[in-house]
């Protein structure tokens, strides 16, 4: 991001103050600065301001401004102090997650009961009356027991979920009549 002439002047002024404070305080913040740095920064800033007032479009302003920033040990600290340091855009979670799908397995698959007796997979992409869960991670419960995407070794069956295509597949055993199942989007 290119700095304006006024920002460079403000950064140089603050840098002079920080350098002077370090000199007067002794060894701090990684060692003493050059004793001439506050004076040097001041003189170059004065020349920069003079040139800017004389000719705001002079091509040497960029070179002098970059040099002025480069010689200061405190340029980043000064810039953060002057400009506020930037901002972070918060991530707003989607409060409108699709509703979980709870069903008891029966002989017919519907939008409210995506897997029928003997079924092992369903595409949950919004087609054929099914809900669209693409882009979400999901939790899967079978008979009120959380299932895993890999064999957990605890006797539970497991499943696979492709959040891009919306393909949900039971890996270790087809849906059985009267089983309770739940697919819950989690974000």
Name beta bridge partners: 121: 169
Q: Is 141 exposed, middle or buried (0-12, 13-18, 19+ CB in 10 A)?
A: middle
Query: For residue 129, what are its two tokens?
Result: 């009356």
Q: Among candidates 6, 41, 9, which has minimal Cα distance to 22?
A: 41
The pLDDT of residue 30 is 55
The ranges assigned to domains in the chain are 5-83, 97-187
User: pTM for the whole thing?
Assistant: 0.49
Mean pLDDT by 10 residues, the chain (187 residues): 80 80 64 71 87 88 85 75 65 74 90 90 88 90 86 77 92 91 88
Token duo for residue 42: 């001041």
Q: What pLDDT score was predicted for residue 123?
A: 92
What is the SS3 assignment for the chain?
CCCCHHHHHHHHHHHHHHHHHHHHHCCCCCCCCCCCHHHHHHHHHHHHHHHHHHCCCCCHHHHHHHHHHHCCCCHHHHHHHHHCCCCCCCCCCCCCCCCCEEEECCCCCCCCCCCCCCCCEEECECCCCCCECCCCCEEEEECCEECECCCCCCCCCEEEEECCCCEEEECCCCCCCCCEEEEEECC
Burial of 36 (0-12, 13-18, 19+ CB in 10 A): exposed
Q: What is the pLDDT of residue 149?
A: 82
Contact 48, 12 (CB under 8 A): yes
The distance in angstroms from the start CA to the end CA of the chain is 34
**Predicted local distance difference test score (pLDDT) of residue 127:** 86
């Amino acid at each position: 991001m290119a700095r304006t002439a006024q920002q460079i002047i403000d950064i140089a002024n603050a840098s002079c103050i920080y350098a002077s404070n370090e000199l007067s305080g002794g060894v701090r913040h990684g060692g003493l600065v050059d004793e001439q740095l506050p004076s040097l920064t001041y003189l170059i800033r004065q020349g920069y301001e003079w040139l800017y007032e004389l000719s705001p479009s002079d091509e040497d302003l960029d070179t002098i401004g970059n040099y002025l920033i480069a010689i200061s040990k405190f340029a980043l600290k000064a810039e953060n102090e002057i400009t506020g340091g930037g901002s972070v855009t918060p991530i707003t979670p989607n409060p409108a997650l699709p509703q979980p799908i709870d069903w008891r397995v029966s002989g017919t698959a519907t939008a409210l009961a995506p897997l029928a007796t003997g079924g092992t997979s369903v595409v949950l992409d919004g087609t054929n009356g099914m809900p669209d869960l693409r882009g979400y991670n999901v939790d899967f419960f079978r008979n009120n027991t959380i299932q895993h995407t890999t064999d957990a070794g605890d006797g539970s069956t497991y499943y696979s979920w492709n959040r891009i295509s919306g393909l949900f597949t039971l890996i270790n055993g087809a849906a059985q009549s009267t089983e309770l199942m739940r697919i819950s989007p989690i974000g």
